[in-house]
Structure 1
Amino acid sequence: MSHIRPLVPLLITAGILIGGNGLQGTFISLRASHEGFSTSLIGLVGAGYNIGFAVGCIYVTRVLRAIGHIRTFSAMAAIASASAIAMLLVIDPTFWFFMRLLAGLCFACLFATVESWLNASVTNANRARTLSLYRLVDLGSVTAAQYLIPGVGIGGFQLFAIVSMALSLSLVPISLADRSAPVAPEAIRFDVKKLWNISPLATIGCIVVGLTNAAFRSLGPIYGEQIGLSVTEIASFMSAGIIGGVVLQYPLGLYSDRFDRRVIILVATLGATLAALFLAIFAGGDEWMNLAGIFVFGAFAMPLYSLCSAHANDHAGEGEHALVSAGMLFFWSIGAIIGPLFASVLLDIFGPDAMFIYTAVIMVMFMAYTVLRMGARPGVPAEQRHGRFRNLLRTSAFFNKLAGAERNGKGPDGGR
């Protein structure tokens, strides 16, 4: 435990940030509906966050190199905290769009700062434990945060204040405990053409995950509300999808290490498609059927990002893994911008079942493309792959680096 103790402040900070972000994402959708925003406007507000997140992914390394970790974290936490309170002061969809865009930019920088800091602080002796604790912090904080919504209520100022307080308090652990700032990471240049040439399937796959999973995260609360779930039931519905995403990560990853990853991607996509169709056709307003359906959907849909990223890394050459990590997150962000917008329009026109019909259609198209790519070039034999499957969080490219270093038995810079 002596190896882990210096990292506890960073893990506490990460827990506060991840929990606050998960709370805000669900709460803002429900509060927007409470304020009379149309479903399409709620989708636009959700897309605003992902636009900001995509911009943050591109520029965060430049900011870290320019002003360092401590100043970056302090500035972004303060801005994100102010944006949460500002949404309470001005109830307007256009204003909320820009505040969520600002929040997305800040959270991209905040997650990257924390995970870059962790990368610089871990050693081979504590890497696996740190990674396990970080994943536990992510799951626990996001799940617990959902139940603050029914406990506090969506109509007052309290949840805005709680989010703002959480972001402000996230400064405390690292401010009191840290004695040194890590070296700024190397800048990562985006090369879209190069990423596409490395793996067209992984590129499309990450966009598909953004199109579908981000629509669930942004509009899942509205779906639940429209089918008649209570606020507590909506919190359980969102939590079930998140928890489900953990269940099949490692079984699917294990099989993808042994066989052609594209076959496992097909299996996961098929499972997600069937779960989405079950939710759209059979679940109706039944709480338990919706919980079961979204649990299975999360179990198959959530690992797709990690599977696609692993497939891209199989084809990456020497020195290209950092580009792949950042690029896959960026392409996910692109899909996450479009997904909530398009799905929200469908919900407005056709009702709540349209969200999972939309998801199923996107997944079927991705399955067809996967089969097409399987005929275009052979799979990479297991012995020629650059690494094994890694369970990744879509927080920053530095998490991929942390997980990759653990898998490869190298230091935080991949042994270089």
Structure 2
Amino acid sequence: MTEVAPANGGDMGRLGRSGWFGLLPLLLSAGILLAGNGLLVTLVAVRANLEGFSPQTVGLLGAVYFAGFIGACLITPSLILRAGHIRVFAALASLGAVAALVLVLAIDPVVWLASRALTGFAFAGLATVVESWLNSRAGASERGRVLAVYRIVDLSCVTGGQFLLPIVGADSFAIFAVVAILFCLALLPISLSRQTSPAPPASPRLDVARIWRLSPVACIGCITIGLTNGAFRTVGPIYAQESALDLEQLALFMSLAIAGGALSQYPLGWLSDRLDRRWILVLATIGAAVAGLWLTLSGNVSADVVLVGGFLFGAFAIPLYSLSIAHGNDHAGDADRVELSATLILMYALGATVGPLAASQIMESFGAPAFFAYTSLLHGVFLVFLLYRMTRRAAVPLTRRSRFVALLRTSPAFYQLARKARGRER
């Protein structure tokens, strides 16, 4: 299993048919991994509720997941330097499968907390391996297309993975076995590939104070999105259960939110490249707050109303992450962009560590519909901050503005791939 970095690094020119065929194992592994993790995030909330775990415990399960996520973002580059991409991927895929099976072998909150922390570490590390590898293997002229294919893989696999839940059911060992199988299957394409591994990614530098001075709006935006969207992935399924949605409707609710975000990213991004980006942030924030109020008031109305609300929430709330980072990049120089991305993704993860805890406590005290009142309140606070900052700083001229990039919240390595792809298009 010797790993040798290619002599030409990532500058491979046009990939051609053979080059795309060489990327297929990476994309297959990524798709299987994204499907398994997306399914597991929803499954944990649903099964924990069925097992009688308190909302606070469910929230804590989400918090420790993102704590593990933060650790992986910081540590994985060093692990790859020590052992290489393939060995690290194999180790983390095995860890993810073990963590999934432990959940059903020991129905105990303490065991589940440890398992979720390990899963967060494993998934973020696995994403770093795949995305840094894609970044290196994609030629300069092909990065845009590789990025587009990877986003399609993400959307289709995460959305499709949700529907394994109603097919298999949430109340048996089988669904956890399916998740473990997916983590193990993700190992096969990448480990059996003949592709050589690239050089390890650089460890991200973090200077929170400097990034704050660079763009307070981007910092508060990413923290707010972690507090809201991170909590949605963790306790949103409980809201759906308490709204009397069955498992199939619950899977559709979560999938519609993801699809809504995917569909609205590009229209909002296109507008933000042509107008003051902060006004598009205002528009999306208002939309997310209104959609949250819709869901707060519609929990006992009908399943169709809840499903529409879920789509609208995703359409406005999910793009806020990419819009916030794009705004931060408007104020950054080329030398700042990777550090900016690493800092902002960790700010998101910090918000997502706190968000599920706060949201679960609110749900315990005021009922499941109060969750979206919580998201609307936070979006309202962010809106006020946005409007305040617009009085303190002029808009960035169009000639100096960075172009919008739709981002996945998987690892800092994804941002490097996206920036290089966008830079090639200029």
Range class of TM-score, shorter chain: over 0.9
After superposition, give the CA deviation of every residue in 1:317-375 in whole Å (9 maximum; x if it has no partner).
23111101111110000110111110001111111110000000000000000011111
2:292 matches 1:276: yes
Task: Give 1:285 shift.
Answer: 4.2
Counterpart Cα distance in 2 of 1:178 and 1:73: 15
Alignment partner of 2:372 out of 356, 359, 379: 356
Alignment partner of 2:411 out of 371, 379, 396: 396
Counterpart Cα distance in 2 of 1:274 and 1:21: 29
After superposition, give the CA deviation of every residue in 1:202-224 in whole Å (9 maximum; x if it has no partner).
01100100101111111111001
Counterpart Cα distance in 1 of 2:71 and 2:279: 33
2:310 matches 1:294: yes
Task: Give 1:118 shift.
Answer: 0.1
Task: Give 1:190 shift.
Answer: 1.0
Counterpart position of 1:13: 29
Structure 2, unmatched stretches of 5+, are 1-15
Query: Is the 8 Å Cα contact of residues 283 and 293 (structure 1) preserved in structure 2?
Result: no
Counterpart position of 1:188: 204
3-state DSSP of counterpart to 1:320:
helix
Task: Give 1:185 shift.
Answer: 1.6
Counterpart mapping for 1:156-235 below 5 A = 156-235=172-251
Alignment partner of 1:332 out of 348, 353, 361: 348
Corresponding letter in the other structure for 1:119: N
Name which of structure 1's ranges 9-18 and 178-187 shifts more when overlaid on structure 2. 178-187
Counterpart Cα distance in 1 of 2:210 and 2:265: 28
Task: Give 1:28 shift.
Answer: 0.8
Corresponding letter in the other structure for 1:355: F
Alignment partner of 1:240 out of 235, 247, 256: 256
Query: Is the 8 Å Cα contact of residues 16 and 166 (structure 1) preserved in structure 2?
Result: yes
2:281 matches 1:254: no
Counterpart Cα distance in 1 of 2:166 and 2:203: 42
Query: Is the 8 Å Cα contact of residues 392 and 400 (structure 1) preserved in structure 2?
Result: yes
Counterpart position of 1:409: 424
Counterpart position of 2:4: none
2:326 matches 1:310: yes
Counterpart Cα distance in 2 of 1:110 and 1:177: 16
Counterpart mapping for 1:27-176 below 5 A = 27-176=43-192
Structure 1, unmatched stretches of 5+, are none
Query: Is the 8 Å Cα contact of residues 13 and 174 (structure 1) preserved in structure 2?
Result: yes
Counterpart Cα distance in 1 of 2:110 and 2:27: 34
Query: Is the 8 Å Cα contact of residues 228 and 285 (structure 1) preserved in structure 2?
Result: no
Counterpart Cα distance in 1 of 2:312 and 2:271: 18
Counterpart Cα distance in 2 of 1:72 and 1:234: 34
Counterpart Cα distance in 1 of 2:144 and 2:209: 34
After superposition, give the CA deviation of every residue in 1:76-104 in whole Å (9 maximum; x if it has no partner).
11111111111111111111011100110
Corresponding letter in the other structure for 1:99: S
After superposition, give the CA deviation of every residue in 1:93-116 in whole Å (9 maximum; x if it has no partner).
111011100110111110010000
Task: Give 1:127 shift.
Answer: 1.7
Corresponding letter in the other structure for 2:424: G
Task: Give 1:187 shift.
Answer: 2.1
Task: Give 1:60 shift.
Answer: 1.8
Corresponding letter in the other structure for 1:265: L
Task: Give 1:150 shift.
Answer: 0.8
Aligned length: 410
Query: Is the 8 Å Cα contact of residues 50 and 337 (structure 1) preserved in structure 2?
Result: yes
3-state DSSP of counterpart to 2:334:
coil
Corresponding letter in the other structure for 2:133: W
Q: CA RMSD in A?
A: 1.3
Query: Is the 8 Å Cα contact of residues 229 and 285 (structure 1) preserved in structure 2?
Result: no
Counterpart Cα distance in 1 of 2:190 and 2:87: 12
Counterpart Cα distance in 1 of 2:188 and 2:298: 48
Corresponding letter in the other structure for 2:418: A
With normalisation by structure 1, the TM-score equals 0.96
